[in-house]
Structure 1
Amino acid sequence: MNNFERGVAALQEGNLEDAANFLTKEIEENPTNSLAYVNFGQLLLSMGDVERACLFFEKALEIDPELAAAHYAVGTVYFEDGKFELAKKHFQHCVKLGMNDSDVHFMIGLCCVNNGEDRFALPFFQRAIELDDQDVDALFQYGLTLAKLEMLDEAKVNLEKVLQLDELHADAHYNLGIIAMFNDQVTTAKDHFNKAIECQDDHMLAMHALKVIENKEVE
């Protein structure tokens, strides 16, 4: 293996010191290897050094403006910084460049949600699920977004799929409880709220929902 391959392998294994050494040597010997800059940036991100990581991602894009991995990395940084519109543009550019995995579509959907564009998020979550039907996060966000748009039957189907993959998903139980309440299925709602609390003992929303039901029953 060359220095780049050794650096990537070390990074994947969590051996940051070796990764830094190998990737530094690669950049010194091959300063136009854009992927070496991306991976060094990822290393810096894992260490919490966001500012320096961005410099490496920007260098990668300076060398190769059409490098999807660099656009994805920059999009992730913008997303974490709350700059969702900028993040979305980079993720969408990844798709234009041929990146077509579940994660990138999921991230575009999340950007839309955080921008208050729930309806626009739906096709991206749907595409993420088509590419990986075991993606619990994408299934949950799709179900949650459907619920927010009052498409409750479809939301219920997808949230139940979440529980098929992860029966301890507290938020899926909570939102299924809310849907049951809307459908006047009080017993089912209570079951889901109690399960949400079993899965996460500090689930305040589920606790509050149970209190609302209990207060109504007392009345």
Structure 2
Amino acid sequence: MTNFERGVSALQEGNLEEAANYLTKEIEENPTNSLAYVNFGQLLLTMGDVERACRFFEKALEIDPELAAAHYAVGTVYFEDGKFELAKNHFQHCVKLGMDDSDVFFMIGLCCVNNGEDRFALPFFQRAIELDESDLDALFQYGLCLAKLEMLEEAKQSLEKVLTLDESHSDAHYNLGIIDMFNDDVEGAKVHFEKAIEHQHDHMLAMHALKVIENKES
């Protein structure tokens, strides 16, 4: 195995010090290995050193401006920093470069949601689900977007799929309860709100919704 392969393996196993040693050696011996810089940046992110991580990602892009892994890493940093438009640009560049997995489409969708562009987020969440039908986060966010756009039947179907994969998903129960309320199914709503609280005891929104129903019934 090369120093790079050993470094990546150590990083995946969580052996950060060992990974740092191997990746440092790789960069010293092969300073144009852009993926070594990406992986060292990921190591720094794991350690919470965002500023230095960015410098390594930028170095990777300096060596190879078309390296999808580096664009994804930079996009993630921008996303965590609340710079959603910049993040979206990097994630979309990943797609242009041929990255075709659920994570990148999910992240583009999340950027759209955080920019208040729920309608634009829908096709990206859809694509994420096409690529990974068991992607709970994409299914949930897709259902949430549909609900916000008042496409309630479609939203209900997506959120119900979430529950088939994870019956304890409290936020899916809560939002299904809200949809039931809109459809005047009070009993159905109560069941979902109670389930949300059962699976997350401090689910304040579900508790408030239940209290509203109880006040109306009393």
Q: TM-score range by the shorter chain?
A: over 0.9
Q: Which residue of 2 aligns with 1:63?
A: 63
SS in 1 for 2:167: coil
Superposed displacement of residue 22, structure 1? 0.3
- Residue-by-residue CA offset, 1:158-181 (whole Å, 9 max, x unaligned): 000000000000000000000000
TM-score in terms of structure 1 length = 0.99
What amino acid does structure 1 have at the position aligned with 2:154?
A: E
Quote the residue 2:177 is aligned against: 177
Question: What does residue 151 of structure 1 align with?
Answer: 151
Equivalent residue, structure 2, for 1:108 = 108
The residue that corresponds to 2:192 in the other structure is 192
SS in 2 for 1:27: helix
Q: Is there any run of 5+ residues in structure 2 with no aligned partner, and where?
A: none
Q: Which residue of 2 aligns with 1:130?
A: 130
Q: What's the CA shift for 1:206?
A: 0.2
Report SS of the residue matched to 1:202: coil
Match in the other structure for 2:38: 38
| TM-score, reference length from structure 2 | 1.00
Structure 2 partner of 1:18: 18
- Show the counterpart of 2:78: 78
2:163 aligned partner: 163
Number of residue pairs matched by the alignment: 218
Percentage identity across aligned positions?
Answer: 87
Distance (whole Å) between structure 2 residues aligned to residue 116 and residue 144 of structure 1 = 13
Specify the SS of the correspondent of 1:129: helix
Root-mean-square deviation over aligned CA pairs:
0.3
Deviation at 1:115, TM superposition (A): 0.1
Structure 1 outlier segments of 4+, above 6 Å: none
For 1:186 and 1:125, the matched residues in 2 are separated by 30
- C-alpha distance in 2, partners of 1:199/1:148? 24
1:141-160 Cα offsets, whole Å, 9 max, x none, are 00010000000000000000
Which whole-Å CA distance do the structure 1 matches of 2:123 and 2:199 have between them? Answer: 30
Residue 97 of structure 1 corresponds to: 97
Aligned mates of 2:48, 2:145 — CA distance in 1: 31
Residue 120 of structure 1 aligns to which amino acid in structure 2? F
